[in-house]
A and B are shown apart, each in its own frame.
Chain A
Amino acid sequence: MSSKNNVKFRFLFSLAFKNILSHKRHMVIIIFGFTISISMLLSVNLWSNTSEDLAINDFLGSQDFQAYIFSASQPEDIDEIIEDLDENVLVDFYSTGYSTAALFNTENKNFTTYEVLPESSQTDPNNPVSLTNAFITGQETLDRISFVFNVEGNFTIEDNGILLSFRQAQELSSIYDRDIQIGDVLNLSISKYIPNPAYGEIYLSSFQTTYYEDYTVKGIFTVNEGLSIVQSALSSEVLSDSIIFPITSLGSAEATMKTNEVPYVLFVKFDKEEITKDGLDEVVNKMQLFSETIKRDYPTTYIYIIESTLTSLINAYSRASISVVLMIPVILVGIVMTIFTINIIVEYRQEEVALLRDRGADTFQILLLFIIEFLIVAFFGIILGIALSFIISALIPSFSASGFNGATFRAFMREPSFSFGFAIGISFTLLIILVGYASLKIWWEISLRHKSSEHELSARRKMERNIFLGVNIGVVTIVVIALIFVLIDTIRNIQESQNFSLASTTSAGYTFLLFCFLLIFVGQLISYLVTDKFQVSLKGLYRRIVFNEAFFLINSFKRKDKKLNSMTFAVILVSTFVAFSLISASSVTQNQMLEADYKNGADMRIITYPVDSSFKNNLSQIDGINEVVALSKTTGSIAYDDYTVVGVDSITYSRIGKWDDSSFAEDNSFENLKILHETYAGVIISHPLAERLNLTIGDDIPIVNLPGGIFHRSFVITGIFNSAPGLGLLDGRNIEMLQQNEGIVLINEEFMKTELEISSCQLFLASVFPDENSTRITNEIKGLLSNTQVNPELINEQFIGSFIDTYIPNVRVFFYVQLIAIVLIIIVLIIMFTDFTLNQRTQEFAINQTMGKSTRTISKLLVIELIVIILSASIGGLLLGLVFTYASFNLITPILTSHNIIPYTINLPILEIVLTPVVLTAMALVGVLPSIIKYGREKIITALRN
């Protein structure tokens, strides 16, 4: 019995293979449909997994350190911790450093304590002591953090070398009355930094300063703000006005420093292999465990790990992975194509089925044969789809603004993070859906054909229509209900949020998914209206074009069988998604351009070494530049959080800046910038901060830890803004990390200069007269001062943003990929469907020829029929696409962008939309013409017998 079954299956398999080869064309299209659907879904998943892995590995590899531990009250704990670290496999490298103070020009000034006052208030103002920050560490540490600094000279402290910050070099030049240059030999004292805000003065007490002679200036540096643990520990502000001194030179002074509680910092770098070996999800957990262990064992220490940065990096990629929903249109169209092809195959093989039945095959046997065929074909489609997904997933991130990046492509191909579970799940689901549909369709057709009487056939067809209608109504109801629930959640998540979280992006993804499903059913309704009402109603138009022959055209549109306009639904669906993709891509482009302008801040964004703000006058002299504003930065604390405080001439800023309506919170406008200008101790703060602290315009807000010896000062709020051009998000600081986009604190420029004594700045914004040559102006600016950047492309690339951007392509890429894929699919579908329908109608064409109709007329009518179908369907689809885009756009904004600084608006590419039906029609005609010509050449007698 068993061998009999084996023979049966062997026979069925061999028959299935023969059938597949006999219907190669249709089977290839099914494979194509499977391949497209599987590859699109898998490629986005593969890309997001791989990119997350690569980004995290890159990030972990590029960081100087990932944690710092600091103890002021018990620095000896650090030494104990170091012993523990030696045995901890998680730790790759560690180093130590001191953050303290250095004094220059202390010769012949004996003291045990020293009161450091402004130069004019010092005992000898003509020969003042210069106090600066000192970072004392080893060369190995410096080598790891070199990316934080721009150095003139060598970045080394070996052989009695020191490094000076640019600011300190300038101060020393003033004190010594000579230019401090590379190679100069200086003497200095290492001391301890103690702020005493109560007196507005800085004291050094109970500390024996140690004098060091003959240290050579090896390099002069400025600080790039970036994602560095050392910077986190010491702050950019401190490093910008500091020296770097070799720890090996401390000698016995080190013991003194420890006993006098000079801040002693331990920097830790984790072993990348060890920390990632259990999966990237465990990286943060391991870091947290490390942190908790240190806190538990050494309660007086403070430990900071880069955990939140990493979490946000992971979140950013998780957010980006939601972009897979943007591929849903392609997948849906792919599935529609496969279903169409299955319908055609079943229709094509009706005779074969009838023959099998006549020969005694039962329904199960016939079904089994077809199922085996579909399974074989689907298997090939799945394998091809998986293979293709590797290539597509590598291509997605490889295309950047500057073109194709081969290194990225190779990185993705080398180390893909393939999720077997996901791949199998998706493939299986698709298989079940399509093979299930095919089985149902075949079973239905078998049982339908079994009914011989016309009445029974008609009754069966009516039942078919009712079932179809019932299923449609049922599914639409479920989808609409689900959509309502998701919409409520989505709207709540994205309303008034400036940075979109993973939660808001996920709910936006579900919204889009449900919209797409709803679209299928709405598309069917539109298809019905277009085929049964619109196309048939154009009798007047047909008569104008083809005169009498309109009779045949109208008949073609009215017919119930063998009609070309059965593909109207597919064309509508595709046109809808084409419209959506075109509009989305155009809107994304426009928004990114606006945001780039906003990020830049003004026509020209100029970043220099720290210079006096009066440098703006030099810039104003350049021919073509209209106005310039200087933006000075410092830091201050509000409610225990540090903020960047920007001093600016707000009136000029209001004129120069690329302001947007969205910049201003409710009841705020340019007027508030004017008020800031008139209010000496006024500030403009960000809306989230105002909300958090329940503040409004006119309220007082204390800012502490300001420079210039100001520990605490109260300011009056003169404005509340959402964002400001050239600031906040824009210097890279707020991209996903470090600081939420709440960081706007604008301060009166006069206050900044007078009270905080800050007149140097590194950022200038300039407006340019219209039609000026920006290249010439840029060159002139660069000629004024070396190492000046004008409109830099990447702003502060060392921030987490660069790791996020590296492998996440511009969202436009998804739309263009989608556009190409679905246009390809629909052209294949139109060609296949037209060929099939023509094949079905060859006899009819032959009958017409026997009545004297020419093949030219027959072809002409076919072409007009196709044009009418594709044009009407694509116009219907475009209109539906417009509605779909407008309805879904604001709800899917979190998928399209990570933040809402410049509100997302729709930009209609009118020309492209108008051309779409024309292009689609033209492409389809080019594709089907060979079929029309082929069937036109067939002999009448052969066609009649078809």
Chain B
Amino acid sequence: MSSAVLECKDVFKQYELRSGPLEVLKGVTFDLKKKELLAIVGISGSGKTTLLNLLFGIDTMTEGHIKIDGKDISDMSKDDFRLFRRDKVGMIFQEFYLIPSMTAIENVMAPLIIAGKSEQLALTKAYRLLERVEIRPMANKYPHQLSNGQKQRVAIARAIANTPKILICDEPTRALDTTLGDGIMDLLEELIENENIAVIMTTHDPQVAARADRVLIIRNGKLVEEKIVDKESFDFRAAKAIYRDPEIVKKEPTSKPKTKKKASTKEAKKSSKNSKTS
């Protein structure tokens, strides 16, 4: 059994509004293992993004504990957590949040410079990263000159620039079509495999959720279901149903050890087609 790189225990998040307190997260508990792809699914307003923001430390929880790499982030000072964020965790946002005044290469260089690398070194590494995410030719383009898919790749390259242990992705395929989305997922899986990072992501898309190792279903701020995904016998319709109404279907974890293999886009499509026909 892999050790957890991220542990979340009894996390509460409450907002104080004029109309009264609004509890967004109500005692969320889960963990993330090494080299795991964890998907959190839920409808809009269920608290997915809030949870990721807490994990990334850009928002503060009302109650609970979050441990990353064995360290409780609530015990950390602002500076310590900043360093932690710089070195251990990477985040890919829904809106990409690329710096508009910087080119793609400069956006990727930025975290490296912040981490103390020289400009030359940062440049070299940034080029390598862009090549990794298959977007090197667009290095000198500004974000407004890139497509959504290209922006997302740049965001990924930036997020992994400092080789974090955990990658947090908020709806990584939201603004992308299926093909592009599959490409991003392939990339993520490759990074998990080769860079030894763990990925936690939120998604609306059951097909994307199906590529995860585990799926956590969040509803009204609570984790209501956890599902180990059997990619080979994955039932798309069932998955969709789970996503929509987790109360209906409950499945036992399969006896087969989970296998991680680099599923190509074609194979994934094929398996989903097979599952449809069956």
A residues contacting B by CB (< 8 A) are 454, 548-552, 555-556, 558-562, 843-844, 846-854, 939-941, 944
Contacts and interface: CB of A to CB of B under 8 A. Distances in A.
B58 A551 contact: no
B144 interface: yes
Given A562-B101, A850-B97, A552 B113 contact: yes
B25 to A, nearest CB: 14
B79 to A, nearest CB: 7
Contact of B111 (A843, A852, A854, A940): A852
A844 B116 contact: no
Contacts of A559: 101
B111 A851 contact: yes
Interface stretch (B84-92, B193-201, B265-273): B84-92
Given A854-B79, A854-B82, A939-B59, A848 B114 contact: yes
Contact of B101 (A454, A555, A850): A555
Contacts of A939: 58-59
B82 A551 contact: no
A365 B108 CA distance: 45
B53 A941 contact: yes
B106 A555 contact: yes
Nearest to A543: B119
A849 B111 CA distance: 10
A850 B102 CA distance: 16
A551 B109 contact: yes
B154 interface: no
Residue of A843, A844, A850, A939 with most chain B CB atoms under a 10 A cut-off = A850
B117 interface: yes
B12 interface: no
By secondary structure, the B interface counts as: helix
Contacts of B93: 944
A453 to B, nearest CB: 12
Given A559-B101, A847-B99, A939-B59, A852 B87 contact: yes
B56 interface: yes
A944 B97 contact: yes
Given A551-B109, A551-B113, A939-B59, A852 B82 contact: yes
Given A555-B101, A843-B97, 16 more contacts: A454-B145, A548-B116, A549-B113, A551-B109, A551-B122, A552-B110, A552-B113, A555-B102, A561-B101, A852-B86, A852-B87, A852-B114, A853-B82, A853-B114, A944-B93, A944-B97
B178 interface: no
A852 B83 contact: yes
The 9 A-B pairs of least Cβ separation, nearest first, read A852-B86, A559-B101, A940-B58, A851-B111, A941-B59, A551-B113, A941-B58, A853-B114, A847-B97
B14 interface: no
B5 to A, nearest CB: 18
A454 B144 contact: yes
21 contacts: A548-B113, A548-B116, A548-B119, A549-B113, A551-B109, A551-B110, A551-B122, A555-B101, A558-B101, A844-B101, A847-B98, A849-B82, A850-B97, A851-B114, A851-B158, A852-B82, A852-B85, A853-B82, A939-B59, A940-B58, A944-B93
Interface in B110-134: 110-111, 113-119, 122
Contacts of A549: 113
Contacts of A561: 100-101
B113 to A, nearest CB: 5
Interface of B: 53, 56, 58-59, 79, 82-83, 85-87, 91, 93, 97-102, 106, 109-111, 113-119, 122, 144-145, 158, 162
Contacts of B115: 852
A937 to B, nearest CB: 11
Nearest to B79: A854
A35 to B, nearest CB: 36
Contacts of B111: 851-852
B119 A850 contact: no
Contacts of A940: 58-59
Contacts of B100: 561, 844
A551 B119 contact: yes
Nearest to B91: A850
B129 to A, nearest CB: 14
A941 B102 CA distance: 21
Residue of A561, A843, A846, A851 with most chain B CB atoms under a 10 A cut-off = A851
Contact of A548 (B53, B59, B97, B118): B118
Contacts of A552: 110, 113
B16 to A, nearest CB: 14
Contacts of B144: 454
B268 to A, nearest CB: 31
Contacts of A844: 99-101
A853 B85 CA distance: 9
Contact of A851 (B110, B119, B122): B110
Contacts of A944: 58, 93, 97
A530 B58 CA distance: 38
A847 B95 CA distance: 11
A628 to B, nearest CB: 77
Contacts of A454: 144-145
A738 B93 CA distance: 86
Contacts of B113: 548-549, 551-552
Contacts of B56: 850
Contacts of B79: 854
B161 to A, nearest CB: 8
A551 B99 CA distance: 13
B117 to A, nearest CB: 7
A939 B117 CA distance: 27
Residue of B79, B82, B106, B118 with most chain A CB atoms under a 10 A cut-off = B82
A562 to B, nearest CB: 7
Contacts of B98: 847
A904 to B, nearest CB: 50
